[in-house]
Amino acid sequence: MNKNRQSIRLCKYDYSRAGTYFVTFCTQNRECFLGNMGSIKNNISKKTELVANWQTLMRVFIRPENEETKLILLKYMEQILFGLNSFLKKHVGITEKVSLKELSMRFTETIINKNPEKKLAEVITGLIEDIAPHAVNVASPYFVGHMTSAMPFFMVHLKTIVTALNQNLVKIETSKVVSILEKQVIAKIHRIIYKENESFYNEHVQNAKTTLGIFTKDGTLANITALWVARNSLLASKEGFSGIEKEGIVPAYKAYGIERCVILASKLSHYSFKKAGGILGIGNQNIIGIDVDTNNRINLDLLKKEIKKIKKTGGRIKILAVVGIAGATETGTIDPLQKIGMLCSENKIHFHVDAAWGGPTLMSEKYKHLLDGIELADSVTIDCHKQFYMPMSSGMVYFKSPTIMNSIEYHANYVNRPGSVDLGIKSITGSREANSIILDCALKIMGTQGYALLIEHGIETARKFAEEIKKRPDFQLMTPPELNILTYRICPVDIKKKLSEDNFEQRQSINKELNKINRNVQRLQREAGKSFVSRTTLNIGNKRKEDIVVLRCVIMNPMTNINILKKILDEQEKIYRCYITTSRP
Amino acid sequence: MNKNRQSIRLCKYDYSRAGTYFVTFCTQNRECFLGNMGSIKNNISKKTELVANWQTLMRVFIRPENEETKLILLKYMEQILFGLNSFLKKHVGITEKVSLKELSMRFTETIINKNPEKKLAEVITGLIEDIAPHAVNVASPYFVGHMTSAMPFFMVHLKTIVTALNQNLVKIETSKVVSILEKQVIAKIHRIIYKENESFYNEHVQNAKTTLGIFTKDGTLANITALWVARNSLLASKEGFSGIEKEGIVPAYKAYGIERCVILASKLSHYSFKKAGGILGIGNQNIIGIDVDTNNRINLDLLKKEIKKIKKTGGRIKILAVVGIAGATETGTIDPLQKIGMLCSENKIHFHVDAAWGGPTLMSEKYKHLLDGIELADSVTIDCHKQFYMPMSSGMVYFKSPTIMNSIEYHANYVNRPGSVDLGIKSITGSREANSIILDCALKIMGTQGYALLIEHGIETARKFAEEIKKRPDFQLMTPPELNILTYRICPVDIKKKLSEDNFEQRQSINKELNKINRNVQRLQREAGKSFVSRTTLNIGNKRKEDIVVLRCVIMNPMTNINILKKILDEQEKIYRCYITTSRP
């Protein structure tokens, strides 16, 4: 009774306050709360003709049109904001087995209603009850196939705030303090990468004329931006030539007396480099893939040879950039950044590091040495929605030189005027939301050490997983984890033995069969819907290379542990046994 | 008493239910609610050493670490989700007058703490109490300077859901149904633009091999994508040449025997076209600005002349695309799309329409005729965060031909394999969030008619405003509104008279003085912080053109009405009077 009495006081108390809380609903909406949510759902789905007029529009523009709607929104928002994990478990990816084809048959209507099709509450309910179950629960600890995973629950709160503020970072007039904050965050991350001294950062952190980096949509745009800057720096204006950005590639090549520009990158480099080559007009065949060594790192000797070969052309071919990878998408491996950096420095070549995946490893005292040499890079890509655990999608690109981004400067009469703090002046995009707020807050909440713990968990769990794979007779570890990514395949012990004995042709035929098996096991496991491991094809082999289909595991979810990974292997074993039994003639 | 009794029942009732609601806090957290929020704030800011370890990390990863934190989050989340308008009014942009310079002095620390700097609740409180007041309240009906405005409150809910689901549209494996939904939404908007027949949409809506358009980050990337596609289509592979994307521009020009590619666009076209010219390697000087007529539309005669002139080069110069604007950024004007479309069709030139701003006008039965001819476009840009009233930032690009995007196709071993539904195959970006969900839901909630009402309100309010400006002796309407954008300037009646009488040199000197006045009035009004009108410089004049500084007004906020606009003019008058009094020698 005492308990109840207190809650009376509470409800009265809060209701009378100026700043209302969710809790005030208990006095405002008692009828609804006393009723059953199910019946509310039934009520709203009773079709009445919906008409768009100014009055109804304004009602739905400003706030929920009625208390029923508010209740529905409240229900889901509470689940999302304060029970994200359970919400996702309950609502997302728990599909009855509906194939993609069947699903796509449900989404074929292409006429938009003139009047509202549904009430707000119905739309939200439909989204969560009917759409979300067929989305993918990327936050599940059993979802270890891609670089998308669970994120701290507060990220959703931060994104909600950023959305509400709706600042546009293209210009100071629509962002004010947020542009300043972004410059600070950029300087903070720059400092982790480049470790310049205090006076360097004092000079540049809020300098309107210099730029240490920029937020982009994702790693692809970060890589494109880096190579765009590299291209423009290489083929800058000089006497009789006003620069590649203005005149274009043909006059640029002519002015510099060259025939071709190339970019050198490991064969394991991200496909965005080819895309960058295409977009930037140098041609994607000029992204030259250098073979990797047995550790899946760029083969330095081959890289040196290639540079030498190109230099022999007497300048007819120019190397626009060399790319080093810090966390290859498929294998998680890290190129020898220090050595590549020195090589680039000797040869005066722009050195770009794609640390979209591995960048945040710099926050781990224990493992940051893996990225030694990154400070030699002229530009660095890091993704926010990867190991910074931020929501889709946000990336960043950093530059060693605070003025190099001037080569991609654009102005307009109404914004981005010279000398302004407008961040849109040097950016591939125009309008852009304030994702920097999220990163800044997350760093304050977790500290570098918080991130380090997440990253170390991934690396160490991956190592344990590799040991487990090696122990199991049906599996073969293909690429051991350097960071938190590894690949393996189903390859039973007797076949392993055969592979080590047979000649190349016989091995090739066995591998073809194994490829088929692994492709199918991966698909069947995905379709079963309990866990997800991805697959890719690696071109490997000591002397003669072969295309090998491998299963790929990315361990970044802190809830993913070795027991879960063992269960994933168990399931694969089971699927494999079932598959070979049923597929035998 | 009866009231209280009911609320006891309510609290008890809900607390015992499986699906908890926000309201359950009234029984759970009575101590906190009975206390004062201020004291909570004081409590949490009492510094205790914060340490990042696995236990605390997991606590903050999954849910608020304690009830105090939950309460703080609850407070702000309720304000944002259910009282967005009041929240923004209360928290954002209500600054004490702090200059940008002063502000920037507060954001200079560049070292990130190893351990958490602050508790979660403190970080969120700091963000809202200390940062947000120095952001810009773009949702204010007095903020009429840029293309960023208020949005329906449910947009924040939708974004929150999208964030929680965290799907990645680059591939079906991290999005499943959402990729299918996106294809449907794209088809819906395509249908509004191109009005193809039912069988066309039945064939393409869920066709994995064809693409009607794509979501991008913003209008700039949409424009770049359109021109990238146009470039690759113009210089496609043919015998002895494997296409510009692969080989690059130099071999492409050689294969086609050309020296230069140009893009023709009105001088009022968005600066992203210059950027596109630069990035794509054709050179931004090859974006040729065609002068506008007295209505600020591209001068068709000049455009025709330019095309003729280029054709006379016998193919040495190729026209990559002609751009038509549907809603110029500075003046809101619309180029004669029908006529440009026919001209392009006759001359077999890619016709791109930049409808980043004006596109959604197609939903208004009353005004869609203004965009007649848009269906002739080979590609169309439309922004979501503009007149679709979606949160920052999201854009789209559409193509008439469902196969033309094949020219920018990229694959990888681990995703985006040929034949898959992976939307990342033909996209400038890689990872990408599910903004299509937001657009789809908003269209269902408001209908095309709901959007039409918003757009019609903007156009009609702008017309009223233009009449008001014409009535006031101190002002001069510079560009009347075709859509919902207009420009004007302070130009007192006696000066107007002088301008009509004097010779060019004298007029020039008067205009210079007026430019200075208008620049200052705009700045002073912005700094006063009550309202915001932007400014730009237009190059106008009947015979001899001059750079004229104008005040620019964008009316898209449904709360902005003629009374508010009158007050904005009143304030400008006041500032002007004060300015000329104090600035006189």
* Domain at A167-432, CATH class: alpha beta
Is the Cβ pair A191, B154 closer than 8 Å? no
Position with higher pLDDT, A259 vs B543: A259
Q: What is the spatial distance between Cα B353 and Cα B371, in angstroms, rounded to a whole number?
A: 10
Q: Per the CB < 8 Å rule, is A161 touching B80?
A: yes
User: Which of B40, B45, B61 should we substitute to test contact with A (largest number of A Cβ atoms within 10 Å)?
Assistant: B61
Q: Are A338 and A306 in contact (CB under 8 A)?
A: no
Contact between chains at A21 and B177 (C-beta distance less than 8 A): no
In this complex, which of B63, B432, B526 lies closest to A153 when CB atoms are compared?
Answer: B63
Chain B residues inside the 8 Å CB shell of A408: 278
**How large is the average pLDDT for residues A263-292?**
98
B522 phi, psi to nearest 5 deg: -60, -45
Q: If you average pLDDT over every residue of chain A, what do you get?
A: 91
Q: How do residues A8-27 score in pLDDT, each as one tens digit?
A: 233 332 323 323 333 333 33
Residue A284: helix, strand or coil by DSSP?
helix
Query: Is a pLDDT exceeding 70 seen at residue B23?
Result: no
Taking the CB of residue B246, how many other CB atoms lie within 10 A of it? 18
Q: Kindly report the backbone phi and psi dihedral angles of residue A174, in degrees, each rounded to the nearest multiple of 5, phi listed first.
A: -120, 20
The beta strands (E) that lie in A387-523 are given as: 395-399, 475-479, 485-490
Q: CB distance B176–A135 less than 8 Å?
A: yes
> Where does B452-583 sit in CATH, by number?
3.90.1150.10
Residue-level pLDDT at A96: 61
Give chain B positions within 8 Å (CB) of A224.
279, 428
- For residue A34, give the nearest of B10, B21, B63 by CB distance: B10
Nearest residue on chain B to A85, alpha-carbon basis: B62
Which position has the token pair 């049906």? A474
- Which tops the pLDDT comparison, B18 or A156? A156
Q: What percent of chain B is modeled with pLDDT above 70? A: 91
Any idea which fold B215-408 has?
Answer: Aspartate Aminotransferase; domain 2 (3.40.640)
Indicate whether A32 pLDDT > 60. Answer: no
Give domain limits for chain B.
1-25, 35-137, 215-408, 452-583
pLDDT exceeds 70 at position A472: yes
Q: CA A283, CA A268: separation in Å to the nearest integer?
A: 19
3-state helix, strand, coil in chain B (%, to 5): 50, 10, 35
What is the pLDDT, as a whole number, of residue B321? 98
Of all residues in chain B, the one with the smallest CA distance to A389 is: B61
- The predicted-structure confidence for B486-539, as pLDDT tens digits, reads as follows 999 999 999 999 998 878 899 999 999 999 999 999 999 998 889 999 999 999
The mean pLDDT value for A72-89 works out to: 95
Q: Looking at CA atoms only, how far is residue B300 from chain A in angstroms?
A: 24
Residue B547 φ then ψ, to 5°: -80, 115
Q: Which two tokens stand for residue B210?
A: 């064809």
Chain B residues touching A434 at Cβ < 8 A: 392
Helices B67-82/A154-165 angle, 10° precision: 30
Residue B65, pLDDT score? 87
Q: What is the mean pLDDT of residues A152-175?
A: 96
Cross-chain residue pair A429–B218, CB shorter than 8 Å: yes
Task: Give the pTM.
Answer: 0.93
Residue B424: φ, ψ to 5°: -75, -5
- pLDDT value at residue A531: 94
Contacts of B577 (CB under 8 A, 6+ apart): none
Is pLDDT above 90 for B251? Answer: yes
Q: Which of A90, A393, A396 would you mutate first to test chain B, the one with the most B CBs within 10 A? A: A393
Encode pLDDT of B401-429 as tens digits: 999 999 999 999 888 888 888 999 999 99
SS3 percent helix, strand, coil of chain A, rounded to 5, is: 50, 10, 35
pLDDT tens sequence across B42-84: 444 455 678 989 998 998 899 998 999 999 999 999 999 999 9
Chain centre to alpha carbon of residue A401: 25
Burial of B236 (0-12, 13-18, 19+ CB in 10 A): middle
Q: A58: burial class by Cβ within 10 Å (0-12, 13-18, 19+)?
A: middle
**What DSSP string describes B257-280?**
T-SEEEEEEETTS-THHHHHHHHT
Those residues with Cβ within 8 angstroms of residue B509's Cβ, 6 or more apart along the chain or in another chain:
none
pLDDT at position A95 is: 65
Q: Do B431 and A216 contact (CB within 8 A), yes or no?
A: no
Q: What percent of chain A has pLDDT over 90?
A: 83
Residue B288 has pLDDT above 50, yes or no: yes
Q: Has residue B357 got a pLDDT over 80?
A: yes
**Nearest-CA distance A82 → chain B (Å):** 6
Contact call for B172 and A100, based on CB within 8 A: yes
Q: Which of B108, B175, B285 sits opposite A205 (nearest CB)?
A: B108
Q: pLDDT confidence of B13, banded at 50, 70, 90?
A: very low
Residue type, A523: R
- Complex prediction ipTM: 0.93
From B151, B205, B221, residue closest to A166, measured CB to CB = B151
Beta-carbon separation of A249 and B244 below 8 A? no
Contact list in B for residue A107 (CB cut-off 8 A) is 177, 180-181, 183-184, 205-206
Q: Which residue of A has its CA nearest to B519?
A: A414
Give the distance between the most distant pair of CA atoms in chain B: 92
Chains A–B, number of C-beta pairs less than 8 Å apart: 639
Residue to test with chain B: of A15, A22, A137, most B Cβ within 10 A = A22
